[in-house]
Amino acid sequence: MTKAVAICGLALLGAWAALAAEPWTLERALRQALADNPDARLAQHRLAAAQAGLDQANAAFWPRLQFQSSYAGSDNPMQAFGSILNQRAYNYGSPPDFNDLPAVDNLNVRGLATVPLYAGGRTTAARHAA
């Protein structure tokens, strides 16, 4: 049994030596040097960061879309009356009992689109700086 293991080990060692003896070509040496070089990896990361900065500077020329929403519900008479006034739902013909107002729900949804027209050259300068 130990002879068989020793023979297999020698066969594997011989195969490993044959692979290690494979001649290095210029292409293989350059590929290995680039893969293991920390300066090359650092340069790749710096290039990616510079590209991200340029993308961010170019994004200043695009329109911006913003969405906001808020919800408030209350049965507090003061807040309920304020919400009724803000909703323009106050009926002037019949004055309500201000101490016994119904519960009020107030939902606000807003959308805003802004387009840069003129920024005094700030966005162009930011793109050139990136």
pLDDT mean by block of 10 residues, the chain; 130 residues: 66 60 82 83 91 89 92 79 74 67 82 87 78
Q: What is the pLDDT of residue 74?
A: 80
pTM of the entire predicted model: 0.44
Assigned domain for 70 exists: yes
Query: What 3-state class would DSSP assign to 57?
Result: helix
The whole domain housing 120 covers 63-129
pLDDT at position 12: 61
Residue 115 resides in a domain: yes
Q: Is residue 42 part of a domain?
A: no
Please report whether residue 14 resides in a domain. Answer: no
Tell me what pLDDT residue 79 has.
77
Q: Is 89 part of a structural domain of the chain? A: yes
Residue 92 lies in a domain: yes
Question: Would 50 be classed as within a structural domain?
Answer: no
User: What pLDDT was estimated at residue 66?
Assistant: 95
Q: Does residue 112 lie in a domain region?
A: yes
How far is Cα 118 from Cα 73, in angstroms, rounded to an integer? Answer: 41
Q: Which two tokens stand for residue 78?
A: 């003061």
Q: How many domains does the chain have?
A: 1
Buried b (16+ CB within 10 A) or exposed e, 31-53: eeeeeeeeeeeeeeeeeeeeeee
